[in-house]
Structure formats: C-alpha cells, structure tokens
Structure 1
Amino acid sequence: METTNKLKDINEVLEFLYQEYPNCFKAKDGIKPLKVGIFKDIAERIEGNETVSKTQVRQALRKYTSNWRYLESVTQNEFRIDLDGNQAEKIEQEHIEHAKQALEESRAKRKAAKPMNKGKRPPRREGGRDGAPRDANRGADTKSYKKRPFDKNKPHDKHAKVNTKPVEEAPVKRSGKVEPLPASEVKVNAKVKVKLGQALVNATIREVKNDEVFVELVTGMQVKTKADSLYFI
C-alpha cells in the first residue's frame, strides 16, 4: 500500500515554509514583511509537490501575516522581501496604519482577558474578629439562628411565588451596520472589506474574473474570494 507524507496541520505547513524558504520565513526573530503577491511565487515553486497544497499555503500565510510579531515588523521596516530574502517594494502607509490598529486591538483583547484580581487571597483568620478562637465567640452573646417551625397551614417554600419569566438578554451593541457590496460596485481598485473566516479585513480589488474576485489585503497578501464576501468599508 502506497503511503503519502501529505501535511495535515497548518503548523506543519508553516514549518515547511521555514525550511524551504529560510531567508523569507522566520518562526520568531528576524521576521520581515512579505512581498505583495508572494503566494503566487510560492504556488509556482511548489507546483507538482504532493506534500503541500496551494490551499494549505494560503491558510498558513493568513496565519503568519496575522501574528503580532509579523504586524510589528510591518510597522518597523521600510521594505518588503521576496522568497529569497531580497528587498521588494516599499511598504505603503495604509498597510502600516492597519498593522498598528490590529496590534492595538490584539493587545486590548489580551488585557481584557486577564483576571482583574491578580493579588493573592488574604490569609484565613484563625479566630474571630477579636482574635479569640472561633468556638469562644459562640455563646450567649451571639444570637443563634433558629429554624422557623413548619406550619402545615402555610404554603411550602417550594410553592412560593417566584419570577418564572425568562431573562431577556441585552441586545448586542454594534459599532455600525455592515452592508454587502452590490455587484455593480465590484470593480478593480475599489476599496472594500472582505470576509475572512469571522473577520472583515480592509482590502483593494485587483482583478475580477467572472464570479471570482482577487483582492489585496492591507497586510499585502493577495487572496481569491467571491463577490458575496465583499462589503462596503
């Protein structure tokens, strides 16, 4: 039976890119912004490669370019690089501003996720408020709780009137209405938002082929999508 070494995990695909193009892709240190359209360059070089597919490469690039280390590199470098590590085009100011915004949003989410109380719990008291043993505080000076006698003429607690009306969830507040881009506005060089997973990313339409639209994200990455995934900015 013939076996295959097809990569299945996106992290494995990233490792493939690190090994195949070490002058371009870095795991941590030395990350630099990628050339616009670098996916096409990779697709040409892996043509016929049975280990990794173009779809996997596209997904790996999306993960790589959304990492905070990569976004920081966009704000700290002047030029992009190609697969061999050579200098490519200059980074546009729009891409820098997008990277800064994405970093701020990422840091805000991380900060909100941290627990509010970071301090240690105060040591448990060994005695009562006056320092005396807890048993010493129990006595005549402390009013003991007496259980209310059961009265069969009165309704049981479980029959007491309770509010059975379901609690209505507060409506989610939205910053603004996102409207789909009509077919008449799907034009080359139009500024749009493209839906990638659950996120909307700013992009520019670069090519339109029948029902397929090729857009350039503000990160510099080019992706293929459908017209119904485009929205007004």
Structure 2
Amino acid sequence: MKKSEALMTTPTEQSVKVSNVKDILTYLAAQFPACFSLTGEPKPLKIGIFQDLAHRLQDDATVSKTQLRQALRVYTSSWRYLESTKEGVARVDLDGAPGDVIDASQAEHANKVLDESKAKAAEKRKAKIAEAKAKQATVAADKPAYKKMPNKKAPSPSKSTKVHQKPASAVETVTQPAPSLQKASAEHVVVGGKVLLKLGQSPMLATVLEIHKDDVTVQLGSGMVIKTRQDSLYLA
C-alpha cells in the first residue's frame, strides 16, 4: 500500500466541522462537561484556558483556534458567566479541577462589565421601541382620513303599494376560541431554541439567548431582546 493511500480517510471517518458559536459551545460542553455548561450557573474558567484547549484539540479538526477564541469570548461575556465570577470562587481547568481563587479586583471587573452589558442592552431595547413607534406614527400619518358619506334616504313606498318585509333575523356572533398554549418546561427551554412569548393577546416567536435560573433572555424576530421568566414561555 502506498503511503498516500494509507493517509486517506473515508468521509465517515472525518470530523464534522462546526460553523457557529452555539454549535462550538455545545461541542465544548460535550467534550469537557466538568468545565463548560450550557445551562445553570457556570464555573469560572482558569486563566489561560485557551492554550489548554488549543493543546487538547490540536488534532481535532472540528474547530479551529479562531473559532475557539470567538466561542470563549462569547461564553465569558455572557451575563450568567459574569454573575458567577464572584470573589472567593475557584476557577477550574478543562477537567473541572479547582485552581486559582477569584480575588476582589477580578470580581469587581466582572461586575462592571456585567453592568455595562446590561446598560447597552437596555439602550438597544429603547432604540427598538422608539423605532417601532416612529414607524407606527409614519403609517398613521400616511393613512388617508376616512370621510363619512351621508346616508341616502330610501324612497318611501306609495300608499297603494303594499310592502311585505320579513323581519331581519338576528345575526349570531361566533367567537373563535383562542388557540391553547402549552407551557414550556425547563427541558424545552434551551439556548438557541424556539419558544413562544405572549405579549398582549398574541404569542410571538422568540429565540432563547441566555438562561439564568428562572430568568430567560430571548430575542424576537424584530431583533428586540427581552428578559422574562421561564413560566412566561410556551412551546413553539
């Protein structure tokens, strides 16, 4: 057998590459469950965890180093991760072994980043609401005013003409029952999953961005980000 033939692999033996951050984090959580988690309170990561990941996955074609950096940046900047970065909590390595303890300055920095992130999210929500109101105002201004036309008086029948008129039957109003919504349990609420969020009378499709205990952050199709309770979500 030639050397080139010995190095060849079949398509089933090749690793399946992942392309987005969600899939990369899912892969890391599966490979290192004692280090990464997709739900609940995450464990603070060891400083220099990227080098450890790059070394452990150097022969794994599933993810590149660039993808690992991007995934770690998203993971460590999430609200639930920043909230778990508290003074006195030990950082963990890829195998979950505790290491250095978070000091006061590191905890303070994480809290500052968290506050800034929430403030930016609030500003984006305000901007989205203002944009939606402006669009509604523009539509209302462009809509032509309704002009009520005077009622035409029906001609009265002559005295010699008898008009036989049947009484109008009562029109029954049929109220269509609202579609029943099924509450989404914890196992159905996952990062990246689709759920229904009831705003007013109509449920709206949303994508789950973050999960922290009973608080869930979702994004509507319009791009608006909303933080709500898990018991306010329904199956899509």
Q: Which range, TM-score by smaller chain? A: 0.3 to 0.5
**TM-score of the superposed pair, with normalisation by structure 1:** 0.47
**TM-score of the superposed pair, with normalisation by structure 2:** 0.46
